[in-house]
Amino acid sequence: MVKFERFTLDNGLRVLIHEDPATPMAVVNVLYDVGARDEHPDRTGFAHLFEHLMFGGSVNIPSYDSPSQAVGAQNNAFTSNDITNYYISLPAVNLETAFWLESDRMLGLAFSEKSLDVQRNVVCEEFKQRYLNQPYGDVWLRLRPLAYHVHPYQWATIGKELSHIENARMEDVKAFFEKHYGPENAILVVAGQVTTDTVKQLAEKWFGPIQPRGKYTRQLPAEPEQQEARRETVYANVPLSSLYVAFHGPGRCDQGYYAMDLISDLLSRGTSSRLYRGLVKERQLFSEINAYHTGSIDGSLFVVEGKPLPGTTMEEAEQAIWEELHRLAGEQVSVYELDKVKNRIESTLVFSEMALLEKAMNLAYFELLGDAENLNRELARFSNVSTQDIQQQAIRLFRKEISSTLIYLSDAHA
């Protein structure tokens, strides 16, 4: 149970407070309601590049990091297809420094050319390190455009290609800031050894004077229901062949999300899970196999990925995966097996309540989804999923006509 208070400033900034007197620390988490899905198709990777620029100095503070480090803080940020999230964790006695830093970069950035030059390079190196210079690193650069033809989920947060980042201009940076980084597009969470009164006072003092810049209304094209199975085969310089099957599934707030999440657990969470037990241990067809989903807001991709052993043909591998998926659609899972994955959800939730930053991030994310109070209803929502729900969701999910299959064939075995 994560208790919190919340209020909204006149400029539209939503503020949530979670008091946790057991820690000497405080966390200030700022979630901006913008992600890679809000980018122009010819300027992808921009939300993430922009996240880097948020550390390049603001209108009154030349450097974000130095004063942060000087008060013993640690900070970072991440960008997803849906959101951009910034956090700073510091000794609670220095809480006001976090308000000073975070409010100034919401007020205005320094827009330094030097920072843009350097961060373009840094992000290009990140692109190479994570996506291009790794075996299978470009999976998501291929899988997303295969599964999505219309919705901006068709590109990864890093962007479609290096040139989009190389071509980013200062005027794009300024326009992006105006459009997405105003107070009405943000959620501020303050957690730790703090009091609601102090936070109210500090929020009014530092964020209150920021003028609203207009709420961004998202109008993204919906992905039409996929009608035909898609596949792509890549011959690549990878040591082992690899297989990815992706399905369109419910979004984070949709009916069916919880059943889908439990299905991924049934398939591959823990060493007793169906895919690991069946296909790695018993039938010995794969060296590794996993099922997971993106949990995105405008619909998820549910992915099964595996590396077949050298003696397994790709056809056998695919068929074996489909057999396991059809088994979930064909016969109801037992109450015992469903309880098993629910028990793991319970302990994971308890565990996450021992981490201050995770609590703060979760509050911000659930508030974005509609109501932070729903964080405390998660366990009940998982508990309410029945064996019938699992079967119904599996039937909807595991259909050839909504699947996209990506195959890496190793040059070594070609």
Positions 314 through 333 that interact with other proteins (CB under 8 A): none
Reported as type and span, the H/E element at residue 133 is none
Taking CB under 8 A as the criterion, the residue among 73, 109, 188, 406 binding other proteins is: 73
Q: Is 240 in the site for other proteins (CB under 8 A)?
A: yes
Taking CB under 8 A as the criterion, the residue among 149, 205, 215, 326 binding other proteins is: 205
Nearer to other proteins, 236 or 301 (CB): 236
Taking CB under 8 A as the criterion, the residue among 87, 148, 177, 206 binding other proteins is: 206
Report angle CA 109, 131, 155 to the nearest 5 degrees. Answer: 65
Q: Is 348 in the site for other proteins (CB under 8 A)?
A: yes
Cβ 306 to other proteins, closest distance in Å?
11
Q: How far apart are CA 178 and CA 162, in angstroms?
A: 25
Q: Is 97 in the site for other proteins (CB under 8 A)?
A: yes
The residues near 290 (Cβ < 8 Å, ≥ 6 apart) are 268, 275, 304, 305, 306
Q: How far apart are CA 380 and CA 399, in angstroms?
A: 29
For the four alpha carbons of 287, 288, 289 and 294, in that order, the dihedral sign comes to negative
Q: Is 239 in the site for other proteins (CB under 8 A)?
A: yes
Q: How far apart are CA 96 and CA 206, in angstroms?
A: 9
Region from 3-11, 42-50, 145-153, 235-243 binding other proteins, contact rule CB under 8 A: 235-243
| Of residues 104-163, those binding other proteins (CB under 8 A) | 104, 107, 117-123, 125-126, 128-130, 132-136
Region from 42-50, 232-240, 247-255, 327-335 binding other proteins, contact rule CB under 8 A: 232-240
Q: Burial of 208 by CB count in 10 Å (0-12 exposed, 13-18 middle, 19+ buried)?
A: middle
Q: Is 334 in the site for other proteins (CB under 8 A)?
A: no
Cβ 370 to other proteins, closest distance in Å?
27
Torsion angles phi and psi, residue 392, rounded to 5: -60, -45
Q: Is 381 in the site for other proteins (CB under 8 A)?
A: no
| Tally of CA atoms within 13 A in the half-sphere of 7 that contains its CB | 12
Is residue 333 within 8 Å of residue 390, measured between CB atoms?
A: yes
Q: How many residues bind other proteins (CB under 8 A)?
A: 81
Q: Is 238 in the site for other proteins (CB under 8 A)?
A: yes
Cβ 142 to other proteins, closest distance in Å?
17
Could you give the string, one character per residue 270-289, with x where binding to other proteins holds by CB under 8 A and - elsewhere? xxxx---x--xx--x--xx-
Q: Is 200 in the site for other proteins (CB under 8 A)?
A: no
Pairing of strands 25-32, 186-192: antiparallel
